[in-house]
Amino acid sequence: MNTLLRIAAGSLLLAVVGCATIEFKPFEAKVNAFEGAGGTKVVIEGMEFWDNGEPPRKYMVLGIVDDERPGGPIPMASLKSDVVHKAKEVGGDAVIQLNSNSQLLGVYSSGSATAYSYGRSATAYGSSTAVPMRRNLSKFAVIKYLD
C-alpha cells in the first residue's frame, strides 16, 4: 500500500508541475516605435529569435508572451518553437527574449534497499535517486518591423 501511495503522490506532483502555460498580452503605449542596437539571433521556423539584444531595425512591440513550464530537458526543448508559434498567431515578424528564470520547487527522491541473511553472514545493498523539480519562467516581446 505504501508503494501505491508514493506512486499516486508522485503522479499528482508531476501533473501539477508538468503544466505549461504560454500567454500573449497586447502591448499599448503612446510611443510604440523602437530601433534596436543589434544583438544575436537565430532563425526558428522562419522567424527571427533575438536573445542577446534587439534587431538593428525600426520595430513596434505587438505584445508580451509569458511562458511558464517545467525546467526539464523535454519541456524546454520546445520553448522557442512554442513562442514562435504564438508570435505567428498574432502577426509578429520576430521575437526578442526579455528574460528567463528558473525556480527550484523541490526534490523528488526515491530509494530501495534489500538485505539477505544466510547462517551467520548477511548481505545488503540499496540504491536511491534524487531529481530536482524545476519551473522555468520566460518573457518575450513579439515585434513587427516598421521598415
Spans of all domains in the chain: 20-145
Which range, of 52-56, 87-91, 118-122, 136-140, averages the lowest pLDDT?
118-122
Q: What is the pLDDT of residue 17?
A: 45
- Are β-strands 34-35 and 58-70 bridged in parallel, bridged antiparallel, or unpaired? antiparallel
State residue 61 phi and psi, 5-degree precision. -95, 120
pLDDT in tens, 29-72: 999 999 999 999 999 999 999 999 999 999 999 999 999 999 88
Q: Position 3: which residue type?
A: T
pLDDT at 92 over 70: yes
Beta-strand ranges (E) seen in the chain are 21-26, 34-35, 38-44, 47-54, 58-70, 94-118, 121-145
Q: Is the pLDDT of residue 6 over 90?
A: no
- Record the cell numbers describing residue 52, joined without a space: 542577446
Is the CB of residue 123 less than 8 Å from the CB of residue 94?
no
